[in-house]
């Protein structure tokens, strides 16, 4: 990756629908070399996919709940089962294995508290959990899908 690739990624993270010709113009390349760089970053897995970022309120998923999960089961079989259970819930948009006091953290989006309660009852009905603690986000202060690129290793080419 070089500085031009990083500039391309910055533009794509802001607007993945930007035409390649415009991206090329902004980074000092013609369309074909710019397209080749984008294709190479897709092939290399730097660009995983291009998606539309939706407004949660406009699709009736405006309530965000952070769900901290503790378990007494710390083995690969249980983790695979738990991951499969969580995978089936469209409400879960992020899922992490954590260090510290909490074993797993889920970010769940739902329309309201009632929908969260329904989700919660289904979750605990599918797998045994030691403790589940839910925190409702009162306000989203910052949200971005853009990763910081200042840490990307840049070649001198």
Say if residue 61 is in the same domain as residue 29.
no
In a domain, residue 102? The reply is yes
Judge contact between 105 and 96, C-beta under 8 A.
Answer: yes
Judge contact between 118 and 112, C-beta under 8 A.
Answer: no
Say if residue 77 is in the same domain as residue 115.
yes
The 8 Å CB, 24+ separation contacts for 77-80 are: none
Structural domains counted in the chain: 2
In a domain, residue 154? The reply is no
In a domain, residue 30? The reply is yes
Say if residue 84 is in the same domain as residue 13.
no
Q: Write the Ramachandran bin of 25: left for phi over 0, alpha for psi from -120 to 50, otherwise beta.
A: alpha
Say if residue 131 is in the same domain as residue 60.
yes
Say if residue 68 is in the same domain as residue 9.
no
Could you tell me the CATH number of the domain that includes residue 15? Answer: 1.10.10.10
For position 154, what pLDDT does the model report?
84
Say if residue 119 is in the same domain as residue 62.
yes
In a domain, residue 110? The reply is yes
**Smallest Cα–Cα separation from 86: which of 77, 76, 96?**
96
Range of the structural domain that residue 99 is part of: 56-136
**Smallest Cα–Cα separation from 29: which of 13, 45, 40, 14?**
40
Give the integer Cα–Cα distance in Å for 137 and 95: 16
Could you tell me the CATH number of the domain that includes residue 112? Answer: 3.30.70.920
Say if residue 98 is in the same domain as residue 129.
yes
Averaged pLDDT, groups of 10, the chain, 157 residues long: 96 97 98 98 96 96 98 95 98 97 98 98 96 97 95 80
């Amino acid at each position: 990756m070089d500085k031009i690739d990083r500039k391309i990624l910055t533009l794509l993270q802001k607007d993945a629908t930007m035409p390649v010709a415009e991206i090329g113009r902004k980074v000092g390349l013609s369309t074909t070399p710019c397209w080749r760089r984008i294709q190479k970053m897709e092939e290399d897995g730097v660009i995983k996919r291009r998606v539309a970022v939706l407004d949660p309120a406009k699709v009736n998923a405006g309530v965000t709940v952070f769900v901290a999960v503790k378990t007494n089961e710390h083995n690969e079989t249980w983790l695979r089962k738990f991951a499969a259970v969580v995978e089936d819930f469209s409400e879960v948009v992020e899922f992490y294995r954590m260090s510290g006091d909490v074993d797993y953290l889920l970010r769940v989006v739902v329309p309201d508290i009632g929908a969260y309660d329904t989700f919660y009852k289904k979750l605990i009905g599918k797998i045994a959990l030691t403790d589940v603690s839910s925190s409702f986000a009162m306000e989203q202060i910052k949200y971005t899908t853009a990763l910081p690129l200042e840490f990307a290793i840049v070649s001198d080419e």
